[in-house]
Structures are given as C-alpha cells and as structure tokens.
Amino acid sequence: MTSVVQFRMDSSDKEILEIMLKDMGLDLGTAFRMFAAKVLKTGEIPFSVSSEIDPDTIETEANKRAYKKAIKELERGEIISHEELKRELGIK
C-alpha cells in the first residue's frame, strides 16, 4: 500500500531542483523517497541543518517591549545596578 505526500514549494525552486536532480539521474519522487528511506533507516536527517543567525541578536516583540521599557525607565531616572539586577533575577 502507498500514500500520496504533498507539499508546497516555490515554483522556480522546484524547476531548478528538478533540473539538478535530472542531472543526477533522479526525479523529485525518487529523491524524496531516498530521503525518507535514509531517515527511516538511521533515525536521522541525512544532512546538517544549521543557521548562521545568532539567536541572541533576533529582535522579538518581547525584546522590543523590554527595550522600550528600559529606555523609559532610564529617561525617568529609574536605574538599577548590575548587582541589584542579578539579585532581582536570582543570578549569582
């Protein structure tokens, strides 16, 4: 018994991928079945997945709110020492 697996991807990426796979003697279906077989056999994704982004530099909504709050506190003269902040956060 077989199942149909569908997903969406950018049309131009798909076209380029199909050309590259054809050069390797593969089609999309075969390439993805090979991927699935490797995952099933090893329990791992058969390639490295990583990001060059430093997670500490990502600007989230929470970070933006904290920054704005800190600026307002600073403007009002509400400052806290590094030691006080560490105690407040329970950091030694």
Q: Kindly list the domain boundaries of the chain, sorted by start residue.
A: 1-48, 55-89
* 67 or 37, greater pLDDT: 37
Is residue 54's pLDDT more than 80? Answer: yes
CA proximity to 4, closest of 39, 37, 32: 32
The token duo for 47 is 């390639």
- The answer to whether the CB of 28 falls within 8 A of the CB of 18 is yes
Give the pLDDT of residue 92: 73
As given in the structure block, the two tokens for residue 61 are: 């909504």
Number of H helices, E strands in the chain: 4, 0
- pLDDT digit string (tens) for 6-33? 999 999 889 999 999 999 999 999 999 9
Copy the structure tokens of residue 16.
Answer: 């380029």
Give percent of the chain above pLDDT 90.
49
Structure tokens at 24: 């390797």
Tokens for 22, please give them.
Answer: 């054809």
Tell me the C-alpha distance between 43 and 68, whole Å: 45
